[in-house]
RNA sequence: UGGGGGAUCGUCUAACGGCAGGACGACGGGUUCUGGCCCCGUUAAUCCAGGUUCGAAUCCUGGUCCCUCAGCCA
């Protein structure tokens, strides 16, 4: 087995495609499509579908179209079209010149509908919506035939054309396929194909007052575009017989094969449009691109990279079984990417002042710091060191437990890229007992971080020079929900009951190394020993930096603490 | 209680009648100027019961559990 075969994804969809290719189907071509409805923002579940469809096209030398499934004008908007295009592009996929809209096919779809009528396979039904529901039957009882089911072809054609012409009120008639009211599959109980809806369409304006339904439009759009494999999620499995029925009933360019896979679920979050909408409209978050949202815009704003998401989508695989992926896998993919690419800097989130009593007042040294140990080409930079510095408050403990290696009275540690430091005195607020400052001594012989006498130190601390540091606001994000599967909330409980009210902690007065003053929105850094942080794209400004914590570093110390 | 799907380590996923493998997690160790990265190791699974077969996660029979469908949404 060569390397490519080792890394090539294997899943049941690719198995099917391989089989089709082996049987010389579709002229050995593979054509897929990603068909979002422009009625919301893309989230990481869509990313799974995008990676699958575009990934298959890439792997088989085929094509993947971006098609907006815009058949319902009351829900769809241009704003969503633009955000979806931006997100797909950002994820790293290119539809080239194959940007399509179902609305581009409205005229052809109408003609196909006339064909269906001519063949006696569709009729205009004048039952009300409520009556249609009533006639449909139940899970165990067959439906009843509409009294309009046997209208003549001529009458149906006339009525359907007049529906288009706007002669009827909304809801007065619908076009229905004439299939089987007794079918055990509801989708085949004379499904609605067209409805009258006087609504302004974001692309066709007021040109139409009748709009095709998903089941009717989707299969025909796939066929018009020459799609070979129409990949969708599991809930459309019941619709497949209808998909096939329509294409069999008409003379169409081709008959794509619909394949269903299980949608993505992720722990500690929700991924349904309705629930995400609730989070936004009920202000549990600050918009669709809130860094806690699983939307692509939210993840991007948080600092999650496209490469990490692509890698994640490859790792989770594709299958038909319902599943919930551990969000820790996304974190893993993120760290894997950011470890390679993110420049290292030092930043102190909760500062404690340290005065180095044996360091000359007024003196400033420029020390060399490596930008990225994983990438020698990233080079190094100078950072200022002086008598007064800040260290992380959690890096000092007056009375340390057994496995705490960091600074404590009398103990020596290393300041990264600087000197060994030993704590000699703890200065406290008389009233509160809070630590105000630490007085320490440094060893001038250890400049750069190594002791000539070979003595070792158990910890290395990050720090910033007090007078040189830039201030910043840093937001610490954690899971939006306290429940692993908030979407499964039962017995009258709302999924929002398990919202994590501490999912965002805002820290002000954080102190960062001076080079960060020039950081611009979207920049991602590793704050050494802490995690990866991204300059917020909306609220950060020069002189008033705002960082979002993308993900923490793996943290062995916190695990040790949890155990005890 | 009709139809359509699905059940493999804690989680995700391979296997296409022939050694149940990988990844994440967890745990242990090595290394280290990031308690990071990296390296090594341990843990741990075929829903149940029968049957076919030299051999079954895979095929057959029967059961159990889960998801899904009664929009003029997609």
Cα(first)–Cα(last) distance of chain A, in Å? 47
Q: Is there a contact between A440 and A422 (Cβ–Cβ < 8 Å)?
A: yes
CB of residue A77 closer than 7 A to nucleic acid strand B? Answer: no
Q: Are A316 and A368 members of one domain?
A: no
Q: Are A252 and A372 members of one domain?
A: no
Catalytic residue of the set A25, A28, A37, A155: A37
Q: Which two tokens stand for residue A36?
A: 């979002």
Q: Are A191 and A92 members of one domain?
A: yes
A476, part of any domain: yes
Average pLDDT of the segment spanning A57-62: 97
Q: Which is nearest to A122 in space by CA: A85, A152, A86, A84? A: A152
Strands of A5-118 (E only): list them: 31-34, 63-68, 99-101
Q: Are A17 and A123 members of one domain?
A: yes
Q: How confident is the model at residue A194 (pLDDT cuts 50, 70, 90)?
A: very high
Q: Residue A64's domain spans which residues?
A: 3-261
**pLDDT surpassing 50 at residue A213:** yes
**pLDDT surpassing 90 at residue A2:** no
pLDDT reported for residue A493: 82
Measure the CA angle with vertex A422, ends A417 and A428; round to 5°.
115
The answer for residues whose C-beta is within 8 angstroms of residue A506's C-beta and 6 or more apart is A473, A474, A475, A476
Catalytic residue of the set A25, A28, A144, A263: A263
| Nucleotide B25, nearest residue via CA and C1' | A328
Q: What is the CATH number of the domain that holds A213?
A: 3.40.50.620
Q: A369 CA to B24 C1', in Å?
A: 33
Q: Which two tokens stand for residue A100?
A: 């399509």
Q: How confident is the model at residue A487 (pLDDT cuts 50, 70, 90)?
A: confident
Boundary of a domain, candidates A399, A434, A462: A462
Q: How confident is the model at residue A328 (pLDDT cuts 50, 70, 90)?
A: very high
- Our answer to whether residue A539 is catalytic in this structure is no
A114, part of any domain: yes
Q: Are A160 and A250 members of one domain?
A: yes
Q: Which of residues 154-173 of A touch strand B (CB under 7 A)?
A: 170-171
A467, part of any domain: no
Gap between the Cα atoms of A249 and A244, Å rounded = 8
CB of residue A215 closer than 7 A to nucleic acid strand B? Answer: yes
A267, part of any domain: no
For residue range A263-300, what is the model confidence (pLDDT) as tens digits?
Answer: 999 999 999 999 999 999 999 999 999 999 999 999 99
Gap between the Cα atoms of A553 and A343, Å rounded = 14
Q: A322 CA to B48 C1', in Å?
A: 21
Q: Is there a contact between A437 and A427 (Cβ–Cβ < 8 Å)?
A: yes
Q: How confident is the model at residue A4 (pLDDT cuts 50, 70, 90)?
A: very low
Average pLDDT of the segment spanning A106-133: 98
Return the residue matching tokens 């080239």: A96
Q: Are A148 and A291 members of one domain?
A: no
**pLDDT surpassing 80 at residue A6:** no
Helix (H/G/I), strand (E/B), else coil: A6: helix
pTM for this model (two decimals):
0.96
Strand B, nucleotides < 7 Å from a protein CB: these are: 1-8, 10-16, 22-27, 33-38, 66-74
Between A44-48, A210-214, A352-356, A449-453, the lowest mean confidence (pLDDT) is in A449-453
Measure the CA angle with vertex A313, ends A15 and A337; round to 5°.
135
Q: Can you count the helices (H) and strands (E) in chain A?
A: 14, 25
CB of residue A69 closer than 7 A to nucleic acid strand B? Answer: yes
Q: How confident is the model at residue A92 (pLDDT cuts 50, 70, 90)?
A: very high
Between A164-178, A228-242, A438-452, A478-492, the lowest mean confidence (pLDDT) is in A478-492
For residue range A527-554, what is the model confidence (pLDDT) as tens digits?
Answer: 999 999 999 999 999 999 999 999 999 9
Q: Which of residues 395-434 of A touch strand B (CB under 7 A)?
A: 403-406, 414, 416-417
Q: How confident is the model at residue A167 (pLDDT cuts 50, 70, 90)?
A: very high
Q: What is the CATH number of the domain that holds A369?
A: 2.40.240.10
- What is the distance, to the nearest Å, from the Cα of residue A108 to the centroid of all Cα atoms in its chain? 35
Residue A138 φ/ψ, nearest 5 degrees:
-125, -175
Q: A447 CA to B54 C1', in Å?
A: 73
Average pLDDT of the segment spanning A182-207: 98
- Determine whether A289 is exposed, middle or buried from the number of CB atoms within 10 Å of its CB (0-12, 13-18, 19+): buried
Q: How confident is the model at residue A8 (pLDDT cuts 50, 70, 90)?
A: low
Q: Are A478 and A505 members of one domain?
A: yes
Q: A554 CA to B37 C1', in Å?
A: 10
Q: Are A327 and A280 members of one domain?
A: yes
Boundary of a domain, candidates A226, A261, A296: A261
Task: Transcribe A324-383 into DSSP letters.
Answer: -B-HHHHHHHHHHHHHHHPPEE-EESSEEEEEETTSPTT--EEEEEES-TT-GGG-EEEE
Q: A402 CA to B42 C1', in Å?
A: 26
Structural domain count, chain A: 3
Task: Transcribe A213-243 into DSSP letters.
Answer: -HHHHHHHHHHHTT-SEEEEEGGGGGGHHHH
Q: Are A407 and A481 members of one domain?
A: no
A413, part of any domain: yes
Q: Are A527 and A387 members of one domain?
A: no
Strands A524-527 and A531-535: antiparallel
Q: Which nucleotide is nearest to A528 (CA to C1')?
A: B34
Gap between the Cα atoms of A19 and A308, Å rounded = 31
Q: Which of residues 267-306 of A touch strand B (CB under 7 A)?
A: none
Mean pLDDT for chain A? 96
| Nucleotide B16, nearest residue via CA and C1' | A15
Task: Transcribe A453-509 into DSSP letters.
Answer: T----S-EE-EEETTTPEEEEEEEE--SBSSS-GGG--TT--GGGGB-TTSEEEEEE
Cα torsion A20, A26, A29, A34 to 10°: value is -90
A266, part of any domain: no
A281, part of any domain: yes
For residue range A499-527, what is the model confidence (pLDDT) as tens digits?
Answer: 999 999 999 999 999 999 999 999 999 99
Average pLDDT of the segment spanning A339-365: 98
CB of residue A11 closer than 7 A to nucleic acid strand B? Answer: yes
Which contiguous run of DSSP H or E holds residue A259? Answer: strand A257-261
For residue range A399-411, what is the model confidence (pLDDT) as tens digits?
Answer: 999 999 999 999 9
Return the residue matching tokens 């993840």: A299
Q: Kindly provide the ipTM of the predicted complex, given to two decimals.
A: 0.97
Share of chain A above pLDDT 70, in %: 98
- Our answer to whether residue A412 is catalytic in this structure is no
Q: Are A292 and A239 members of one domain?
A: no
For residue range A12-36, what is the model confidence (pLDDT) as tens digits?
Answer: 999 999 999 999 999 999 999 999 9
Catalytic residue of the set A149, A273, A275, A315: A273
- Starting at the edge strand found earlier in the chain, the sheet holding A174-177 runs A122-125, A174-177, A192-196, A210-212
CB of residue A67 closer than 7 A to nucleic acid strand B? Answer: no
Q: Which of residues 330-389 of A touch strand B (CB under 7 A)?
A: 332, 335-336, 339, 344, 372-374
A268, part of any domain: no
Return the residue matching tokens 């996929």: A93
Query: Would you tell me how many other CB atoms lie within 10 Å of the CB of residue A331?
Result: 17
Q: A20 CA to B66 C1', in Å?
A: 31
Boundary of a domain, candidates A230, A261, A292: A261
Q: How confident is the model at residue A179 (pLDDT cuts 50, 70, 90)?
A: very high
**pLDDT surpassing 80 at residue A119:** yes
**pLDDT surpassing 60 at residue A5:** no
pLDDT reported for residue A1: 31
Q: Which two tokens stand for residue A372?
A: 């990225």
- Our answer to whether residue A315 is catalytic in this structure is no
Gap between the Cα atoms of A486 and A294, Å rounded = 14
Share of chain A above pLDDT 90, in %: 96
Q: Are A121 and A205 members of one domain?
A: yes
pLDDT reported for residue A489: 80
Gap between the Cα atoms of A358 and A421, Å rounded = 11
């Amino acid at each position: 087995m060569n390397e490519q075969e080792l890394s090539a994804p294997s899943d049941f969809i690719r198995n099917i495609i391989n089989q089709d290719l082996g049987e010389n189907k579709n002229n050995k071509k593979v054509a897929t499509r990603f068909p979002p409805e422009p009625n919301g923002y893309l989230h990481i579940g869509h990313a799974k579908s995008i990676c699958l469809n575009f990934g298959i096209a890439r792997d088989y030398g085929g094509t993947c179209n971006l098609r907006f499934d815009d058949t319902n004008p009351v829900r769809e908007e241009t704003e969503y079209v633009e955000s979806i295009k931006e997100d797909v592009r950002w994820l790293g996929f290119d539809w080239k010149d194959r940007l399509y809209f179902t609305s581009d096919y409205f005229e052809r779809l109408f003609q196909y509908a006339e064909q269906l009528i001519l063949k006696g396979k569709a009729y205009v039904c004048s039952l009300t919506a409520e009556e249609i529901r009533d006639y449909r039957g139940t899970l165990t009882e067959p439906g009843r035939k509409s009294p309009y089911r046997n209208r003549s072809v001529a009458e149906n054609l006339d009525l359907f054309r007049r529906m288009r012409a706007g002669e009827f009120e909304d809801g007065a008639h619908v076009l229905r396929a004439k299939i089987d009211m007794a079918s055990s599959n509801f989708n085949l109980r004379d499904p609605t194909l067209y409805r009258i809806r006087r609504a302004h369409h974001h692309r066709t304006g007021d040109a139409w007052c009748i709009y095709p339904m998903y089941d009717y439009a989707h299969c025909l759009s796939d066929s018009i575009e020459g799609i070979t494999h129409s990949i969708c999620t599991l809930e459309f499995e019941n619709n497949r017989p209808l998909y096939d029925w329509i294409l069999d009933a008409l003379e169409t360019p081709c008959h794509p094969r619909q394949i269903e896979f299980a949608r993505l679920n992720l722990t500690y979050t929700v991924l349904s449009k309705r629930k995400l909408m609730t989070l936004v409209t009920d202000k549990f978050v600050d918009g669709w691109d809130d860094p806690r949202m699983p939307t692509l815009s939210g993840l991007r704003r948080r600092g999650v990279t496209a490469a990490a998401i692509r890698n994640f989508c490859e790792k989770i695989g594709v299958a038909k079984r319902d599943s919930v992926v551990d969000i820790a896998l996304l974190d893993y993919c993120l760290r894997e990417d950011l470890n390679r690419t993110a420049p290292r800097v030092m930043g102190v989130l909760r500062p404690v002042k340290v005065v180095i009593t044996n360091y000359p007042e007024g003196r400033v040294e420029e020390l060399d710091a490596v930008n990225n140990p994983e990438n020698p080409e990233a080079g190094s930079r100078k950072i200022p060191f002086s008598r007064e510095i800040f260290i992380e408050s959690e890096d000092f403990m007056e009375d340390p437990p057994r496995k705490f290696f960091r600074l404590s009275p009398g103990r020596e540690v290393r300041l990264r890229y600087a000197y060994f430091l030993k704590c000699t005195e703890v200065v406290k607020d008389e009233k509160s007992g809070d630590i105000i400052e630490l007085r320490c001594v440094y060893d001038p012989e250890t400049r750069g971080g190594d002791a000539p006498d070979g003595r070792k130190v158990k910890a290395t601390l990050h720090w910033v020079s007090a007078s040189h540091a830039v201030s910043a606001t840093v937001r610490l994000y954690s899971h939006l929900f306290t429940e692993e599967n908030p979407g499964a909330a039962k017995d009258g409980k709302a999924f929002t009951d398990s919202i994590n009210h501490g999912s965002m902690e805002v820290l002000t007065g954080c102190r960062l190394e001076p080079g960060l003053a020039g950081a611009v929105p979207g920049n991602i850094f590793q704050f050494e020993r802490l995690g990866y942080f991204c300059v917020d794209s909306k609220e950060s400004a020069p002189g008033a930096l705002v960082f979002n914590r993308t993900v923490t570093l793996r943290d062995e110390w916190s695990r040790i603490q949890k155990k005890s």
